[in-house]
Structure 1
Amino acid sequence: MDVETFHDGFLAAVLVPAGPGGRIVAKDVEAALAAPKKAAPVAAARPDVPLGSTVPFTTMQGAVSKNMVESLAVPTFRVGYTITTDALDQLYKKIKSKGVTMTALLAKATAMALVQHPVVNSSCRDGKSFTYSSSINIAVAVAIDGGLITPVLQDADKVDIYSLSRKWKELVDKARAKQLQPHEYNSGTFTLSNLGMFGVDRFDAILPPGTGAIMAVGASQPTVVGTKDGRIGIKSQMQVNVTADHRVIYGADLAAFLQTLSKIIEDPKDLTF
Protein backbone atom coordinates (compact mmCIF):
# COMPACT_ATOMS: atom_id res chain seq x y z
CA MET A 1 0.00 0.00 0.00
CA ASP A 2 1.10 3.58 -0.62
CA VAL A 3 2.66 4.98 2.56
CA GLU A 4 1.72 8.55 1.71
CA THR A 5 -1.06 8.93 4.29
CA PHE A 6 0.20 6.65 7.04
CA HIS A 7 0.29 9.50 9.56
CA ASP A 8 -3.11 11.07 8.83
CA GLY A 9 -5.51 10.82 11.71
CA PHE A 10 -3.00 9.41 14.16
CA LEU A 11 -0.77 12.35 15.05
CA ALA A 12 -3.29 14.83 16.38
CA ALA A 13 -3.42 14.03 20.11
CA VAL A 14 -3.63 17.21 22.23
CA LEU A 15 -1.68 17.24 25.48
CA VAL A 16 -2.22 20.31 27.72
CA PRO A 17 -0.14 20.24 30.92
CA ALA A 18 -2.26 21.15 33.96
CA GLY A 19 -0.01 20.07 36.80
CA PRO A 20 2.12 22.25 39.08
CA GLY A 21 4.81 24.14 37.21
CA GLY A 22 3.42 23.03 33.86
CA ARG A 23 4.11 19.37 34.55
CA ILE A 24 2.17 16.65 32.79
CA VAL A 25 0.01 14.67 35.18
CA ALA A 26 -2.13 11.56 34.74
CA LYS A 27 -5.34 13.45 33.95
CA ASP A 28 -3.57 15.31 31.11
CA VAL A 29 -2.71 12.01 29.44
CA GLU A 30 -6.22 10.65 30.01
CA ALA A 31 -7.72 13.78 28.43
CA ALA A 32 -5.39 13.57 25.43
CA LEU A 33 -6.20 9.93 24.83
CA ALA A 34 -9.92 10.67 25.11
CA ALA A 35 -9.75 13.50 22.56
CA PRO A 36 -11.59 12.78 19.29
CA LYS A 37 -9.35 11.44 16.57
CA LYS A 38 -9.84 11.47 12.83
CA ALA A 39 -11.20 8.12 11.72
CA ALA A 40 -8.98 5.96 9.57
CA PRO A 41 -10.23 5.57 6.01
CA VAL A 42 -12.29 2.48 5.39
CA ALA A 43 -11.45 0.25 2.46
CA ALA A 44 -14.08 0.64 -0.25
CA ALA A 45 -16.50 -2.21 -0.81
CA ARG A 46 -16.24 -4.23 -4.03
CA PRO A 47 -19.77 -4.31 -5.50
CA ASP A 48 -18.35 -5.70 -8.75
CA VAL A 49 -17.25 -8.99 -7.14
CA PRO A 50 -19.24 -11.81 -8.80
CA LEU A 51 -20.32 -13.72 -5.70
CA GLY A 52 -20.66 -17.47 -6.09
CA SER A 53 -18.57 -17.68 -9.25
CA THR A 54 -15.01 -18.79 -10.01
CA VAL A 55 -12.87 -16.18 -11.72
CA PRO A 56 -9.44 -16.92 -13.26
CA PHE A 57 -6.45 -14.83 -12.25
CA THR A 58 -5.64 -11.80 -14.34
CA THR A 59 -2.09 -11.63 -15.68
CA MET A 60 -1.10 -9.41 -12.76
CA GLN A 61 -2.73 -11.66 -10.17
CA GLY A 62 -1.04 -14.67 -11.73
CA ALA A 63 2.35 -12.96 -11.45
CA VAL A 64 1.70 -12.04 -7.81
CA SER A 65 0.66 -15.62 -7.06
CA LYS A 66 3.82 -17.01 -8.70
CA ASN A 67 6.04 -14.66 -6.70
CA MET A 68 4.31 -15.49 -3.42
CA VAL A 69 4.75 -19.23 -3.99
CA GLU A 70 8.42 -18.71 -4.87
CA SER A 71 8.92 -16.74 -1.66
CA LEU A 72 8.03 -19.85 0.37
CA ALA A 73 11.36 -21.38 -0.66
CA VAL A 74 13.29 -18.62 1.11
CA PRO A 75 14.13 -19.04 4.83
CA THR A 76 12.99 -15.74 6.31
CA PHE A 77 12.87 -14.17 9.75
CA ARG A 78 11.37 -10.96 11.14
CA VAL A 79 12.54 -8.13 13.36
CA GLY A 80 10.33 -5.32 14.69
CA TYR A 81 11.18 -1.82 15.92
CA THR A 82 9.35 1.18 17.38
CA ILE A 83 10.22 4.58 15.90
CA THR A 84 9.12 7.99 17.19
CA THR A 85 7.79 10.10 14.30
CA ASP A 86 7.16 13.54 15.85
CA ALA A 87 10.15 15.21 14.16
CA LEU A 88 9.42 13.54 10.81
CA ASP A 89 5.82 14.70 10.95
CA GLN A 90 6.90 18.26 11.73
CA LEU A 91 9.28 18.22 8.78
CA TYR A 92 6.56 16.85 6.52
CA LYS A 93 4.14 19.60 7.52
CA LYS A 94 6.84 22.18 6.86
CA ILE A 95 7.72 21.05 3.32
CA LYS A 96 4.50 19.38 2.17
CA SER A 97 3.50 22.56 0.33
CA LYS A 98 6.63 22.20 -1.81
CA GLY A 99 5.33 18.92 -3.19
CA VAL A 100 7.18 16.62 -0.82
CA THR A 101 5.38 13.37 -0.05
CA MET A 102 5.62 11.20 3.04
CA THR A 103 6.39 8.26 0.80
CA ALA A 104 9.47 10.04 -0.51
CA LEU A 105 10.58 10.97 3.02
CA LEU A 106 10.33 7.37 4.20
CA ALA A 107 12.01 6.04 1.07
CA LYS A 108 14.81 8.57 1.44
CA ALA A 109 15.31 7.72 5.13
CA THR A 110 15.39 4.01 4.30
CA ALA A 111 17.88 4.52 1.49
CA MET A 112 20.16 6.59 3.72
CA ALA A 113 20.12 3.81 6.32
CA LEU A 114 20.87 1.19 3.65
CA VAL A 115 23.98 3.13 2.60
CA GLN A 116 25.39 2.31 6.04
CA HIS A 117 24.15 -1.30 6.01
CA PRO A 118 24.66 -2.64 2.46
CA VAL A 119 24.13 -6.26 3.53
CA VAL A 120 20.43 -5.42 4.09
CA ASN A 121 20.33 -4.25 0.47
CA SER A 122 21.87 -7.50 -0.77
CA SER A 123 20.20 -10.66 -2.07
CA CYS A 124 20.75 -14.37 -2.62
CA ARG A 125 19.54 -15.67 -5.98
CA ASP A 126 21.37 -18.99 -6.33
CA GLY A 127 21.50 -20.21 -2.74
CA LYS A 128 25.28 -20.11 -2.81
CA SER A 129 26.34 -16.46 -2.88
CA PHE A 130 25.56 -12.85 -1.98
CA THR A 131 24.79 -10.20 -4.55
CA TYR A 132 25.62 -6.75 -3.19
CA SER A 133 23.49 -4.29 -5.14
CA SER A 134 25.36 -1.39 -6.66
CA SER A 135 22.23 0.79 -6.44
CA ILE A 136 19.68 1.44 -3.72
CA ASN A 137 16.30 1.16 -5.41
CA ILE A 138 13.33 1.45 -3.06
CA ALA A 139 10.21 -0.36 -4.26
CA VAL A 140 6.92 0.71 -2.65
CA ALA A 141 3.90 -1.58 -2.73
CA VAL A 142 0.83 0.13 -4.19
CA ALA A 143 -2.65 -1.37 -4.49
CA ILE A 144 -4.20 -0.76 -7.90
CA ASP A 145 -7.35 -1.99 -9.54
CA GLY A 146 -6.99 -5.72 -10.01
CA GLY A 147 -3.81 -6.28 -8.09
CA LEU A 148 -0.64 -5.00 -6.48
CA ILE A 149 2.46 -3.45 -8.00
CA THR A 150 5.71 -2.00 -6.68
CA PRO A 151 6.87 1.18 -8.42
CA VAL A 152 10.59 1.72 -7.81
CA LEU A 153 12.37 4.87 -6.71
CA GLN A 154 15.77 4.23 -8.24
CA ASP A 155 18.95 5.53 -6.57
CA ALA A 156 16.82 6.90 -3.74
CA ASP A 157 19.92 7.65 -1.67
CA LYS A 158 21.31 9.98 -4.35
CA VAL A 159 18.17 11.86 -5.40
CA ASP A 160 17.09 14.96 -3.47
CA ILE A 161 13.77 14.81 -1.64
CA TYR A 162 12.01 17.20 -4.01
CA SER A 163 12.96 15.30 -7.15
CA LEU A 164 12.18 12.02 -5.39
CA SER A 165 8.67 13.27 -4.56
CA ARG A 166 8.04 14.34 -8.15
CA LYS A 167 9.25 10.97 -9.37
CA TRP A 168 6.97 9.16 -6.93
CA LYS A 169 3.91 11.06 -8.16
CA GLU A 170 4.85 10.22 -11.74
CA LEU A 171 5.23 6.53 -10.90
CA VAL A 172 1.92 6.32 -9.05
CA ASP A 173 0.09 8.01 -11.93
CA LYS A 174 1.65 5.55 -14.40
CA ALA A 175 0.86 2.61 -12.11
CA ARG A 176 -2.80 3.53 -11.89
CA ALA A 177 -2.92 3.97 -15.64
CA LYS A 178 -1.12 0.60 -16.01
CA GLN A 179 1.66 2.27 -18.00
CA LEU A 180 4.69 1.33 -15.90
CA GLN A 181 7.62 -0.10 -17.84
CA PRO A 182 9.18 -3.33 -16.48
CA HIS A 183 12.28 -1.58 -15.12
CA GLU A 184 9.99 0.76 -13.19
CA TYR A 185 8.53 -2.05 -11.09
CA ASN A 186 10.97 -4.98 -11.14
CA SER A 187 14.27 -3.28 -10.27
CA GLY A 188 13.74 -2.84 -6.53
CA THR A 189 16.49 -3.87 -4.12
CA PHE A 190 14.51 -3.17 -0.93
CA THR A 191 10.73 -2.92 -0.52
CA LEU A 192 8.40 -0.81 1.64
CA SER A 193 4.83 -1.93 2.33
CA ASN A 194 2.29 -0.06 4.44
CA LEU A 195 -1.19 -0.56 5.85
CA GLY A 196 -0.99 2.31 8.30
CA MET A 197 -3.58 4.42 6.49
CA PHE A 198 -6.16 1.80 7.47
CA GLY A 199 -5.23 2.01 11.15
CA VAL A 200 -3.18 -1.20 11.12
CA ASP A 201 -0.55 -0.86 13.84
CA ARG A 202 1.73 -3.74 12.75
CA PHE A 203 1.91 -6.56 10.25
CA ASP A 204 4.37 -8.88 8.52
CA ALA A 205 5.16 -8.59 4.81
CA ILE A 206 6.09 -11.43 2.44
CA LEU A 207 9.56 -11.16 0.96
CA PRO A 208 9.58 -10.55 -2.82
CA PRO A 209 11.74 -13.12 -4.63
CA GLY A 210 15.20 -11.89 -5.59
CA THR A 211 15.47 -9.34 -2.77
CA GLY A 212 16.93 -9.47 0.71
CA ALA A 213 14.38 -7.59 2.80
CA ILE A 214 10.98 -5.89 2.92
CA MET A 215 9.77 -3.49 5.61
CA ALA A 216 6.14 -3.35 6.78
CA VAL A 217 5.16 0.10 8.07
CA GLY A 218 2.30 0.48 10.55
CA ALA A 219 0.30 3.54 11.55
CA SER A 220 1.92 6.29 13.56
CA GLN A 221 -0.15 6.70 16.72
CA PRO A 222 -0.06 8.81 19.90
CA THR A 223 1.58 6.68 22.58
CA VAL A 224 2.04 7.26 26.29
CA VAL A 225 5.75 7.16 27.10
CA GLY A 226 7.99 7.74 30.09
CA THR A 227 10.67 10.42 29.87
CA LYS A 228 14.22 10.19 31.18
CA ASP A 229 13.35 12.43 34.14
CA GLY A 230 10.54 10.13 35.26
CA ARG A 231 7.63 12.11 33.82
CA ILE A 232 5.02 10.91 31.38
CA GLY A 233 4.04 12.32 28.03
CA ILE A 234 2.77 11.42 24.57
CA LYS A 235 4.83 10.80 21.47
CA SER A 236 3.75 9.66 18.04
CA GLN A 237 5.27 6.27 17.32
CA MET A 238 5.06 3.73 14.52
CA GLN A 239 5.89 0.05 14.40
CA VAL A 240 8.01 -1.30 11.57
CA ASN A 241 8.65 -4.99 10.92
CA VAL A 242 11.33 -6.18 8.51
CA THR A 243 11.15 -9.60 6.85
CA ALA A 244 14.57 -10.74 5.61
CA ASP A 245 16.32 -13.60 3.85
CA HIS A 246 18.21 -15.36 6.64
CA ARG A 247 20.70 -16.87 4.22
CA VAL A 248 22.39 -13.50 3.76
CA ILE A 249 20.99 -11.20 6.46
CA TYR A 250 21.21 -12.00 10.16
CA GLY A 251 19.47 -10.62 13.24
CA ALA A 252 22.32 -8.33 14.20
CA ASP A 253 22.33 -6.88 10.66
CA LEU A 254 18.66 -5.93 10.86
CA ALA A 255 18.96 -4.62 14.41
CA ALA A 256 21.79 -2.29 13.39
CA PHE A 257 19.91 -1.17 10.26
CA LEU A 258 16.77 -0.38 12.27
CA GLN A 259 18.74 1.56 14.86
CA THR A 260 20.21 3.69 12.08
CA LEU A 261 16.81 4.17 10.43
CA SER A 262 15.31 5.22 13.75
CA LYS A 263 18.02 7.84 14.28
CA ILE A 264 17.45 9.27 10.80
CA ILE A 265 13.66 9.49 11.23
CA GLU A 266 13.83 10.86 14.77
CA ASP A 267 16.32 13.56 13.65
CA PRO A 268 15.40 14.03 9.98
CA LYS A 269 17.29 17.22 9.14
CA ASP A 270 19.52 15.42 6.64
CA LEU A 271 16.55 14.20 4.58
CA THR A 272 16.26 17.54 2.83
CA PHE A 273 19.89 17.70 1.72
Structure 2
Amino acid sequence: TALLAKAVGVVLARHPQVNAATSADGSAMVYPAAVNVAVAVAMEDGGLITPVLANADKTDIHSLARNWADLVSRARSKQLQPEEYSTGTFTLSNLGMFGVDRFDAILPPGTGAILAVAASRPTVVGGKDGSIRVANQMQVNLTCDHRVIYGADAAAFLKDLAQLIETNPESLAF
Protein backbone atom coordinates (compact mmCIF):
# COMPACT_ATOMS: atom_id res chain seq x y z
CA THR A 1 0.00 0.00 0.00
CA ALA A 2 2.81 2.42 0.83
CA LEU A 3 4.47 1.65 -2.51
CA LEU A 4 1.22 2.34 -4.38
CA ALA A 5 0.69 5.56 -2.42
CA LYS A 6 4.25 6.65 -3.27
CA ALA A 7 3.73 5.90 -6.96
CA VAL A 8 0.43 7.77 -6.97
CA GLY A 9 2.00 10.70 -5.11
CA VAL A 10 4.92 11.00 -7.52
CA VAL A 11 2.62 10.95 -10.54
CA LEU A 12 0.11 13.36 -8.95
CA ALA A 13 2.93 15.86 -8.49
CA ARG A 14 3.35 15.79 -12.29
CA HIS A 15 -0.43 16.02 -12.84
CA PRO A 16 -1.71 18.64 -10.37
CA GLN A 17 -5.01 18.88 -12.24
CA VAL A 18 -5.81 15.33 -10.99
CA ASN A 19 -4.96 16.39 -7.42
CA ALA A 20 -7.80 18.94 -7.52
CA ALA A 21 -11.31 19.14 -6.10
CA THR A 22 -14.23 21.51 -5.83
CA SER A 23 -14.46 23.98 -2.98
CA ALA A 24 -16.74 23.14 -0.06
CA ASP A 25 -19.57 25.20 -1.56
CA GLY A 26 -18.95 23.82 -5.06
CA SER A 27 -18.36 27.24 -6.58
CA ALA A 28 -14.66 26.90 -7.45
CA MET A 29 -11.87 24.48 -8.19
CA VAL A 30 -9.18 23.99 -5.54
CA TYR A 31 -5.61 22.98 -6.40
CA PRO A 32 -3.85 21.98 -3.15
CA ALA A 33 -0.12 22.59 -2.88
CA ALA A 34 0.39 19.27 -1.05
CA VAL A 35 -0.10 15.76 -2.41
CA ASN A 36 -1.87 13.99 0.46
CA VAL A 37 -2.95 10.47 -0.46
CA ALA A 38 -5.87 9.19 1.61
CA VAL A 39 -6.04 5.39 1.68
CA ALA A 40 -9.21 3.49 2.51
CA VAL A 41 -9.01 1.22 5.56
CA ALA A 42 -11.78 -1.19 6.51
CA MET A 43 -12.63 -1.04 10.19
CA GLU A 44 -12.94 -4.33 12.06
CA ASP A 45 -16.41 -3.44 13.37
CA GLY A 46 -17.56 -2.30 9.92
CA GLY A 47 -17.23 1.01 8.17
CA LEU A 48 -14.34 2.69 6.50
CA ILE A 49 -11.85 5.44 7.28
CA THR A 50 -9.27 7.08 5.05
CA PRO A 51 -6.04 7.88 6.90
CA VAL A 52 -3.81 10.30 5.01
CA LEU A 53 -0.21 9.83 3.93
CA ALA A 54 0.78 13.49 3.82
CA ASN A 55 3.23 14.67 1.16
CA ALA A 56 3.32 11.22 -0.41
CA ASP A 57 5.26 12.58 -3.37
CA LYS A 58 8.12 13.91 -1.21
CA THR A 59 8.29 11.30 1.57
CA ASP A 60 10.68 8.37 1.15
CA ILE A 61 9.15 4.89 0.89
CA HIS A 62 10.53 3.71 4.23
CA SER A 63 8.96 6.62 6.10
CA LEU A 64 5.71 6.16 4.19
CA ALA A 65 5.60 2.48 5.17
CA ARG A 66 6.24 3.27 8.83
CA ASN A 67 3.66 6.08 8.77
CA TRP A 68 1.16 3.78 7.09
CA ALA A 69 1.56 1.03 9.69
CA ASP A 70 1.12 3.58 12.47
CA LEU A 71 -1.94 5.18 10.83
CA VAL A 72 -3.65 1.81 10.28
CA SER A 73 -2.98 0.72 13.85
CA ARG A 74 -4.33 3.97 15.28
CA ALA A 75 -7.27 4.01 12.84
CA ARG A 76 -8.37 0.54 13.96
CA SER A 77 -8.11 1.58 17.62
CA LYS A 78 -9.99 4.82 16.81
CA GLN A 79 -7.13 7.08 17.88
CA LEU A 80 -6.63 9.19 14.75
CA GLN A 81 -6.83 12.95 14.96
CA PRO A 82 -9.22 14.64 12.48
CA GLU A 83 -6.38 16.07 10.38
CA GLU A 84 -5.05 12.53 9.93
CA TYR A 85 -8.17 11.45 8.03
CA SER A 86 -9.66 14.66 6.64
CA THR A 87 -6.79 16.24 4.69
CA GLY A 88 -6.56 13.89 1.72
CA THR A 89 -6.31 15.45 -1.72
CA PHE A 90 -6.65 12.15 -3.61
CA THR A 91 -7.97 8.77 -2.47
CA LEU A 92 -6.61 5.28 -3.03
CA SER A 93 -8.68 2.15 -2.46
CA ASN A 94 -6.77 -1.13 -2.65
CA LEU A 95 -8.80 -4.35 -2.54
CA GLY A 96 -6.07 -6.38 -4.20
CA MET A 97 -5.04 -7.93 -0.88
CA PHE A 98 -8.49 -9.55 -0.77
CA GLY A 99 -8.04 -11.11 -4.21
CA VAL A 100 -10.55 -8.78 -5.87
CA ASP A 101 -9.64 -8.58 -9.56
CA ARG A 102 -11.62 -5.39 -10.40
CA PHE A 103 -14.03 -2.95 -8.80
CA ASP A 104 -15.34 0.59 -8.98
CA ALA A 105 -14.68 2.98 -6.11
CA ILE A 106 -17.11 5.73 -5.15
CA LEU A 107 -15.67 9.21 -4.98
CA PRO A 108 -15.50 10.54 -1.40
CA PRO A 109 -16.78 14.08 -0.77
CA GLY A 110 -14.07 16.71 -0.94
CA THR A 111 -11.77 14.95 -3.38
CA GLY A 112 -11.58 15.07 -7.15
CA ALA A 113 -10.54 11.47 -7.78
CA ILE A 114 -10.21 8.00 -6.30
CA LEU A 115 -8.10 5.16 -7.68
CA ALA A 116 -9.41 1.61 -7.27
CA VAL A 117 -6.55 -0.91 -7.29
CA ALA A 118 -7.24 -4.62 -7.73
CA ALA A 119 -5.12 -7.74 -7.31
CA SER A 120 -2.19 -8.50 -9.57
CA ARG A 121 -3.02 -11.57 -11.67
CA PRO A 122 -1.19 -13.61 -14.31
CA THR A 123 -2.58 -12.50 -17.68
CA VAL A 124 -1.83 -13.49 -21.26
CA VAL A 125 -0.50 -10.41 -23.06
CA GLY A 126 0.61 -9.74 -26.60
CA GLY A 127 3.91 -8.05 -27.35
CA LYS A 128 4.44 -5.36 -29.97
CA ASP A 129 6.29 -7.95 -32.06
CA GLY A 130 3.29 -10.31 -32.02
CA SER A 131 4.69 -12.56 -29.31
CA ILE A 132 2.51 -13.86 -26.51
CA ARG A 133 3.55 -14.21 -22.88
CA VAL A 134 2.12 -14.35 -19.38
CA ALA A 135 2.66 -11.27 -17.22
CA ASN A 136 1.29 -10.13 -13.89
CA GLN A 137 -1.15 -7.26 -14.34
CA MET A 138 -3.39 -5.37 -11.97
CA GLN A 139 -6.56 -3.57 -12.93
CA VAL A 140 -6.96 0.02 -11.82
CA ASN A 141 -9.99 2.23 -12.22
CA LEU A 142 -10.01 6.00 -11.73
CA THR A 143 -13.26 7.68 -10.70
CA CYS A 144 -13.19 11.46 -11.18
CA ASP A 145 -15.37 14.47 -10.59
CA HIS A 146 -15.64 15.68 -14.18
CA ARG A 147 -16.49 19.19 -13.00
CA VAL A 148 -12.83 19.37 -12.00
CA ILE A 149 -10.86 16.70 -13.86
CA TYR A 150 -11.14 16.21 -17.61
CA GLY A 151 -11.01 12.71 -19.02
CA ALA A 152 -7.86 13.43 -21.04
CA ASP A 153 -6.06 14.60 -17.88
CA ALA A 154 -7.17 11.46 -16.05
CA ALA A 155 -5.95 9.29 -18.94
CA ALA A 156 -2.55 11.03 -18.96
CA PHE A 157 -2.26 10.44 -15.19
CA LEU A 158 -3.08 6.73 -15.61
CA LYS A 159 -0.64 6.36 -18.50
CA ASP A 160 2.19 7.89 -16.45
CA LEU A 161 1.29 5.80 -13.40
CA ALA A 162 1.38 2.60 -15.45
CA GLN A 163 4.69 3.59 -17.03
CA LEU A 164 6.25 4.32 -13.63
CA ILE A 165 5.09 1.04 -12.10
CA GLU A 166 5.93 -1.07 -15.16
CA THR A 167 9.27 0.44 -16.19
CA ASN A 168 10.83 2.32 -13.26
CA PRO A 169 9.54 1.00 -9.89
CA GLU A 170 13.03 1.15 -8.38
CA SER A 171 12.84 4.96 -8.49
CA LEU A 172 10.17 4.77 -5.77
CA ALA A 173 12.73 3.53 -3.25
CA PHE A 174 13.97 7.10 -2.71
Q: TM-score range by the shorter chain?
A: over 0.9
Gaps spanning 5+ residues in structure 1: where? 1-102
State the match for 2:109 in structure 1.
Answer: 209
1:176 CA displacement: 1.3
1:228 CA displacement: 2.3
CA distance in 2, matches of 1:196, 1:152: 19
Higher relative contact order (CA 8 A, sep 6+): 1
CA distance in 2, matches of 1:186, 1:123: 14
In the TM superposition, what whole-angstrom CA distance separates every residue of 1:42-78 from its partner, at most 9, and x where no partner exists?
A: xxxxxxxxxxxxxxxxxxxxxxxxxxxxxxxxxxxxx
Q: 1:270 aligns with which of 157, 171, 174?
A: 171
State the match for 2:22 in structure 1.
Answer: 124
CA distance in 1, matches of 2:135, 2:160: 19
CA distance in 1, matches of 2:113, 2:94: 14
CA distance in 2, matches of 1:179, 1:220: 32
Gaps spanning 5+ residues in structure 2: where? none
State the match for 1:85 in structure 2.
Answer: none
Secondary structure, in 3 states, of the residue corresponding to 2:119?
coil
In structure 2, give the amino acid aligned to 1:133: P
1:270 CA displacement: 1.2
1:122 CA displacement: 0.6
In structure 2, give the amino acid aligned to 1:270: S
TM, length-normalised to structure 1: 0.61
Query: Which is higher, the Rg of structure 1 or of structure 2?
Result: 1
State the match for 2:62 in structure 1.
Answer: 162
CA distance in 1, matches of 2:68, 2:84: 11
Pairing 1:61-140 to 2, within 5 Å after superposition: 103-125=1-23, 126-140=25-39
In the TM superposition, what whole-angstrom CA distance separates every residue of 1:205-261 from its partner, at most 9, and x where no partner exists?
A: 111111100011111100011122222111000110011111010110100000110
TM, length-normalised to structure 2: 0.95
Secondary structure, in 3 states, of the residue corresponding to 1:183?
helix
Secondary structure, in 3 states, of the residue corresponding to 1:220?
strand
1:184 CA displacement: 0.6
In structure 1, give the amino acid aligned to 2:12: L
CA distance in 2, matches of 1:243, 1:199: 21
Count of residues paired in the alignment: 171
Q: 2:41 aligns with which of 142, 146, 151?
A: 142
CA distance in 1, matches of 2:171, 2:99: 29
Larger strand proportion, structure 1 or 2? 2
1:199 CA displacement: 2.1
Q: 1:227 aligns with which of 116, 127, 143?
A: 127
